Amino acid sequence: MSFKTTCQRLNPIGQCQKYNLSIWQCPSFLFPLNGLITILAMVSTYFVAVKYTQPEIVALIVIGVSIILIIIGYLITKGFEDLAQANRLKTEFVNIASHQLRTPLTGIKWNLELIQKSNSLTQEEILDKLEEIKDNNQRMIGLVNDLLDVARIEQGRLNLKPQKVFLDEMIQKLVEEYRPLAKASNIKIISEIESDIPLIIIDPQGIGLVLRNLIDNAIRYTKGSGTVRIKLIKKRNSIRCEIQDEGVGIPDRDQKSIFLKFFRSQNAMKYQTIGTGLGLFIAKSFIKESDGKIDFWSEEEKGSTFWFELPINNK
């Protein structure tokens, strides 16, 4: 083993940075610190006991040192939990990314082989296969874009580009864009927009991504038939957008985790096997970065309403 490798392994700060943990979350730093404080506590307690005869002073010092050790013990435990969480998320990322990429890649491979080897395909059938290849390619592009957004969010470099935008016009365009998908799923999509919506300063690409995620989820998780309703409301100092569906809803046990990275509720996975659990995490990050807020209410088997608010006078 080289000297450089040995130093890297003995470097607690480097190990903490490797797992994106602060120095006070890293067990490899806190463990020796705890040992050092324990030794100092034992030595100092001995000298205090020798110097002072009042049991009250000795008891106070022992209690104070014990509290410090308990706090460090808690930080060590929390550090191990954060480390385990980081490893779990890394494993989930590899599993999800590999699965989500393998499916469209397999579809592309099969369709290309079919076009290449079959002499009986009509021109129309070849065009259908090319359309499937295009759709699978788009899925891969979407996944890669999501992963890049997550990387930028975690590194704190979303770099929003705010400009003056009519949010009502943006929503109307998206409604028309998603209308064919809704119609194909026997879903009616309705927009209810107040007439006095003012210009706001936002990053149109980021907020457009938020709207796409919420509208797409509302359509895809409405089983059978139903209505997706998009409302835009002007409040005193903000604009509020609500996307309401009549879909599968979110169970109470899953609601606290719905904005977490890679999380998907169990009933959602029953109806849609395709998904990374990144959309709502990304949406919340963009809204938060835009000085807004986002939340939802939902009832299982009855539907969900996701909403976000953006300030009218952005800085």
Placement of tokens 């936002």 in the chain: 202
Q: Could you write out the DSSP letters of every residue in 73-98?
A: HHHHHHHHHHHHHHHHHHHHHHHHHH
Q: What is the distance between the alpha carbons of residues 134 and 121, in angstroms, rounded to a whole number?
A: 18
Model confidence pLDDT, tens digit, residues 133-166: 888 787 777 777 777 777 777 777 777 888 999 9
Model confidence pLDDT, tens digit, residues 10-57: 454 555 555 555 565 566 666 677 677 777 777 776 776 677 666 777
Structural domains of the chain sorted by starting position, each given as residue range(s) with its CATH number in brackets: 1-157 (1.10.287.130), 163-311 (3.30.565.10)
Model confidence pLDDT, tens digit, residues 188-232: 999 999 988 899 999 998 999 999 999 999 998 888 789 999 999
Model confidence pLDDT, tens digit, residues 239-295: 999 999 998 898 888 888 888 877 777 777 776 656 677 889 889 999 999 999 999
Q: What is the distance between the alpha carbons of residues 36 and 201, in angstroms, rounded to a whole number?
A: 53
How would you label 47-77 residue by residue, b for 16+ Cβ within 10 Å and e otherwise? eeeeeeeeeeeeeebeeebeeeeeebeebbe
What CA dihedral angle connects 288, 290, 292 and 293, to 10 degrees?
-30
**Spatial CB neighbours of 83, under 8 Å, sequence gap ≥ 6:** 19, 21, 25, 26, 27
Res 6: pLDDT: 41
Distances (CA, A) of 233 to 195, 200, 208, 239: 9, 13, 17, 6
Q: What pTM was computed for the model?
A: 0.64
